[in-house]
Amino acid sequence: MIQSNVAVNLLRNGFMGIPQVKSVVPAEYNPWWKGLDKYYYGQPPLSIIAQACWFKLFGIGLFQLRSLAVFWGLIGLFAWYIILNKFNVDGQTSLFALVLISVDFIYTRFSASGRVFDIMCASLAFCSWAGYMALRERSLPKALLLSNTLIVMSGLTHPNGILGFAALLFLVLYHDIKKIKIKHILISAIPYFIGALSWGWYILKDLDAFYHQFFGIVFGLHYPTQSGFSITTIYNEIRWRYLFAYGLGSDFSVHSRALLFILVVYFFSFISLGYLILRKKDNYPSRMIFFLTAIYFFLLMFLSSHKWPTYLVHIVPIFAACVVIFRSRLKEKTIPRQIFTLALIPVVMLSSGVNIYRFKRNEYHKKFLPDINKVLQILSPTDTINAPWETSFLLGFDRVVADHSLGYYSKQKTDVIIVDETYEKDFNNIRNNRPEIYSHIQFTLNNDYQLIYEGKLYKIYRKSEKTIKTKRINKYDKKY
């Protein structure tokens, strides 16, 4: 949610940074925050600019933020309709693919999430393929200019734009390698030159901050990377990206493991398309979808330094396309096709069940708003707040800091501390890795603050009267 804070600051103050973080953690202790008070280099800037423009048009709020993600989710679906159409997939199969994508619980989650950059990056890549396939026969130069412009926009949204670039390169080489001339390469290079010039200009404002933020976050400069070619990389990819996302983890109930069936169907369809290619029983659509899936699968595995399930939003639509195209390759009215079709019923039902569960759970109205309303009743206009970033939308962007060390580095105590599940998970990590900071956290919560409210989502601590009096005495001593 830090990107939204940067976007709001860009809209209100005209620069991409978060001024209040300078006092939270010094750069020597958290180097990937270096320069963040003035410049944000944690990822390319396009999604932040998009959020700022969206907030300018529709106002600042969590609903507006999530509606932007919904917008990009719908754009992605439209792009897939064009892609499948240009891959010569029949209308019924294309419609089935769109249904599978639109109900997939991972796609729907990140099409309505505050992490706008994931779905925006993915959808821009899909639009790039759609634009290239739609225009290539009418005008190859226009197709290359449009598709590469969209890929540059995807890359300027998130580094995962490299996935879409590799897939676009495959599509171009597969379809038009014999037509490509020097002029086509130069036309394709125009968007990259403009993109590099624009972002490069911003990077030059603080090269040192860019080095620490971008390379620290994206390439794991300040912590072990999970990319590279090794058995450990493969294990982490399967275990923490795929199996965890589909319910295999201590955070989920045993019943959640039923979602693994969706993953089995996805991988079975992908592998089966590969088998058809080896047996030379494939066709054009199955060949295209298989290679696009393979490109994304292996790049996510070996190139991505983070094994987060959030990145599945890039590949889930291609897996869904694998499913419907493999089904179309099975002969009609045969037992294999009937069995596979029956297997798709629980796939749709499981994903739909997750979506319905999330809708009924309605954490925003049942947990978030009641707790925030309680906070608003407790707060005075001058109170400073240490709280999760998402609370800034209702509590104020200027007075909220998210300091999980609770002032260990800054030596500053806010009037109110709001702790959620993310804070508590970080406290546990700190306990294992930095016991001296954990001791400070425990002392602060137990001695300097009082728990005044425990809601469904947040615990609210207010600075104790003893701490306030001590602070007043210290100020008096310094004055006299």
**Which of 316, 343, 361 is the last residue in one of the domains?**
361
* 246 and 350 share one domain: yes
Q: Residue 315's pLDDT is what?
A: 97
Q: Residue 26's pLDDT is what?
A: 56
Which two structure tokens, joined as six digits, stand for 480?
A: 């006299």
* 290 and 414 share one domain: no
Question: From the CB of residue 404, how many other CB atoms can be counted at a distance below 10 Å?
Answer: 20
Q: Which range of residues forms the domain containing residue 403?
A: 364-479
* 408 and 338 share one domain: no
**SS3 at position 282:** coil
Close Cβ partners of 228 (under 8 Å, ≥ 6 residues apart) = 302
The answer to whether 24 touches 5, Cβ cutoff 8 Å, is no
Q: Residue 229's pLDDT is what?
A: 80
The answer to whether 337 touches 331, Cβ cutoff 8 Å, is yes
* 347 and 371 share one domain: no
Cα 372 to Cα 53: distance, rounded to the nearest angstrom: 26
**SS3 at position 245:** coil
C-alpha 255: how far from its chain's center? 26
Cα 461 to Cα 443: distance, rounded to the nearest angstrom: 13
Cα 52 to Cα 10: distance, rounded to the nearest angstrom: 7
- 56 falls within a domain: no
* 324 and 336 share one domain: yes
- 4 falls within a domain: no
**Which of 314, 341, 361 is the last residue in one of the domains?**
361
| DSSP H stretches of helix in 89-160 | 91-103, 105-110, 116-135, 140-155
Looking at the 3D structure of the chain, how many domains does it have?
A: 2
* 237 and 314 share one domain: yes
State the angle between helix axes of 46-58 and 116-135 in degrees (0 to 180), rounded to the nearest 10: 100
Q: Residue 472's pLDDT is what?
A: 46
Q: Residue 255's pLDDT is what?
A: 87
**What is the amino acid identity at position 217?**
I
- Residues lower than pLDDT 70 in the chain: 1, 23-31, 219-227, 466-480
Q: What is the value of pTM for the model shown? A: 0.92
